[in-house]
Amino acid sequence: MSGENWRQERKTLLATLGPPLFWLTLFFLVPLAVVWAYSFGRNVGLTEIEISGTFANYAQAIQPLYLGIFFKSIVMAAACTVICLVAGFPVALAITFAPDKVKAWLLLAVMLPFWTNLLIRTYALIAVLRDEGYINLTLGWIWKQVGLVLNVPPFVPLEMLHNNPAVLFGLVYVHLPFMVLPLYAALDRLDRSLIEASLDLGAGHFRTMMQVVVPLALPGILSGVLITFIPALGAYLTPDLLGGPDSQMIANVIERQFKRANDWPFGAALSFLLLYLTFVMVAVQALIQRRRGAR
């Protein structure tokens, strides 16, 4: 069907596009605009906000304290992305080259966490990592067996919860599928005969990987990185539940402004700084893709 036809059929167009457009406007754009307006306002009274056009909230948001938290969030999200990439690439590769029957199951295994509530997954992680969790129970049992033969001090549970590594672990756990799926999509599209040609010309598997597979999968790698980094940057539940007092990320700070601190204008300003950061990254990615495409 050509675009001309669609344009002529105004009514059909309106009927199909209308409801989602209406929905998006009412429940996404309007609230977003409201929050955006709040970011230029100030609190007058407990529930009243005056939109005064002030930049004070943004000025406060770029104070060292908050910049530090921004920076920390970026570092955590970046570390999470790198780990996801390093761990996800072999997984995506394995899925790509698995026999068709196995492939479907492997993909399902990657997708399954998506369909489980984040809260449940995070609590499950706590059950694994806490002092009386499954890892410590197992280690303790092994320690006890060793203790039967050797003279060892009593077992002290490993502290694996409420610290930065726990948050990072949680972030990786939650975001790995975001990385694996675009990587898989890119690798699956790759013409197998290119890999065979590389082998045929004398390259080993490692060389083929670095000089043929990775460069050709680069668009997929880029979108995987972006798709992982952006939600990791705004992670809220994971640092909240798995982190310690020094593990808070920017989303936790924002949440506090809207709730306990009751400073909506400042929370709004922080939110929008985060949003701008995201826009910049998406723009950079689009630019890189365009450059590659133009070549």
Region of 204 (left: φ > 0; alpha: ψ -120 to 50; beta: rest) is beta
What gap in Å lies between CA 159 and CA 135, rounded to an integer? Answer: 11
Phi, then psi, of 100 in degrees rounded to 5: -50, -40
Q: Does 215 bind other proteins (CB under 8 A)?
A: yes
Are 233 and 274 contacting, i.e. CB atoms less than 8 angstroms apart? yes
Judged by beta carbon, residue 197 or residue 261, the one nearer other proteins is: 197
Judged by beta carbon, residue 87 or residue 203, the one nearer other proteins is: 203
Are 275 and 195 contacting, i.e. CB atoms less than 8 angstroms apart? no
In the complex, least distance from residue 200 CB atom to other proteins, rounded to whole angstroms: 5
Q: Does 199 bind other proteins (CB under 8 A)?
A: yes
Site string for other proteins, 173-192 (x = CB under 8 A): ------------------x-
With CB under 8 A as the contact rule, the residue among 197, 210, 282, 288 that binds other proteins is 197
With CB under 8 A as the contact rule, the residue among 122, 198, 223, 252 that binds other proteins is 198
With CB under 8 A as the contact rule, the residue among 63, 148, 193, 291 that binds other proteins is 193
Region of 33 (left: φ > 0; alpha: ψ -120 to 50; beta: rest) is alpha
What gap in Å lies between CA 14 and CA 8, rounded to an integer? Answer: 11
What gap in Å lies between CA 260 and CA 272, rounded to an integer? Answer: 19
Judged by beta carbon, residue 203 or residue 281, the one nearer other proteins is: 203
In the complex, the residues that contact other proteins under the rule CB under 8 A are 191, 193-194, 196-204, 207, 211-212, 215-216, 295
